Amino acid sequence: MDRPVYLDYNATARIRPEVIDVLTDVLRETGNASSVHAAGRRARKHVEDARESVAALVGARPGQVVFTSGGTEANNQVMRECNPAKTLVSAIEHAAVLESCPGAARLPVDGTGVVDLAAMEAACAGTEPEWIALMLANNETGVIQPVAEAAAIAHRFGARIHCDAVQAAGKIPVDFEALGVDSMAVAAHKLGGPQGVGALIAREPDTAGCLLRGGGQERGLRGGTENVAQIAGFGAAARMAGEQLSSYTALAGMRDGLERRLAEIASGFRVFGTQAPRLPNTSQILMPGVPAETQVIAFDLAGIAVSAGSACSAGRVEAPYVLTAMGVPDDQARCALRVSLGWDSTNADIERFAAVWHDVWQRSGRRETGKRD
């Protein structure tokens, strides 16, 4: 039997074997990173080494890195402190941002999925916000946002800006200083590290909010005993992602080739967000008239893992809100599938996906061929 094909890296990446080795080695050790004896000092070294590696991956200083349980916690740590009446968020933010500051005004995006900077500037003039949230890359379409430009607008109006960079880190170059943001969220499992660990990058850590209190860990910004093995695994994954960033960039060729092949199979085929810069690994595609849930099941039965969008929205039946914000009609949005490649994706994976796509399209009864819209 052929090996299972995994094309859902935006949900979670396959963990790198080298990271498993690090996790295993550290789990064999004993020591609380807050203890002063030798075992505690060894644990502390694992944490601080990882802090340096994560900082290097995103162009920050180690002292700006606060370890959390993941990107969701990092987003909540910032956004739950915000006053909704003084906060602007893009309409395509992850639920971890939208739901942690309910009531915040939403900034529109254009048909390509890029935030409307003119609308942002107008909203700033009318609202005088304290915080703006804009992700670096969308988890469903892969569209990259003009975060540096948005940060300049925010600061001109005296606002701070938070950036969810969970999908971007390890896939494209990320530079905290160059982006000019005040805080940033990242997660290990999106770049080949373990699930359940992430980081908040804070420009001024002493002024960052704190969700979990007690114990004084992470300089008083995140209480609770550090998950040393997971943090060490995060550090290893960050180092590898940084070293192999060029190979991730090369995935764009594989993705584009897949999109060209599918356009030759299905009439009405469409790729969302192609007129904007995208992550090199992400393609959100339309199989007209075939519900996304039907497609996901068909691919799963064929041994191929893909998704209908954000893993945090599994089981939904409504149209994906990201595509709705882009002006995509509901009947198309409900038929959108996300394919996301990763560090061990191969051309053979793409060949199998295209073959199953062809079979699913044929079985749907819509056998006309056509070109991409």
Q: Which residue in the list 82, 101, 124, 312 is annotated as catalytic?
A: 312
Bridge partners (DSSP) listed for residue 6? 305
Q: What angle do CA 35, 38, 39 make, to 5 degrees?
A: 65
Q: Can you give the pLDDT at residue 257? A: 96
- Say what the pLDDT of residue 3 is: 79
Alpha carbons 141 and 312: distance in angstroms, whole number: 15
pTM of the predicted structure, to 2 decimals: 0.93
Beta strands in 166-294 (DSSP E): 183-187, 198-202, 270-271, 282-286
Gyration radius from the chain CA atoms: 21
> Helices 228-243 and 17-27: crossing angle, nearest 10°?
150
For CA atoms 239, 227, 224, 34, give the dihedral sign.
negative
Q: How much of the chain is helix, strand and coil, in % rounded to 5?
A: 40, 15, 45
* 373 residues of the chain, pLDDT tens digit each: 577 999 999 999 999 999 999 999 999 998 887 788 999 899 889 999 999 999 999 999 999 999 999 999 999 999 988 999 999 999 999 999 999 999 999 999 999 999 999 999 999 998 889 999 999 999 999 999 999 999 999 999 999 999 999 999 999 999 999 999 999 999 999 999 999 999 999 998 776 776 677 777 777 677 677 899 999 999 999 999 999 999 899 999 999 999 999 999 888 899 999 999 999 999 999 999 999 999 999 999 999 999 986 555 555 556 789 999 999 999 999 999 999 999 999 999 999 999 999 999 999 876 555 444 3
- Domains in the chain, CATH or no CATH each: 5-14+246-363 (3.90.1150.10), 17-243 (3.40.640.10)
Task: Identify the CA nearest to 244 among candidates 141, 349, 344.
Answer: 344
The torsion angles phi and psi of 190, rounded to 5 degrees, stand at -85, -10
Specify the pLDDT at position 210: 67
130 neighbors 86 (Cβ within 8 angstroms): yes
Catalytic residue status for 312: yes
Rounded CA gap, 162 and 94, in Å?
13
pLDDT of residue 372: 40
110: alpha, beta or left? (left if phi > 0; alpha if psi -120 to 50): beta
Could you tell me the CA-to-CA distances from 72 to 47, 69, 181, 211 in Å, in that order? 20, 8, 18, 12
Listed residue (233, 335, 346, 352) closest to 291, CA to CA = 335
Residues whose CB falls within 8 Å of the CB of residue 122, separated by 6 or more in sequence, listed in order: none
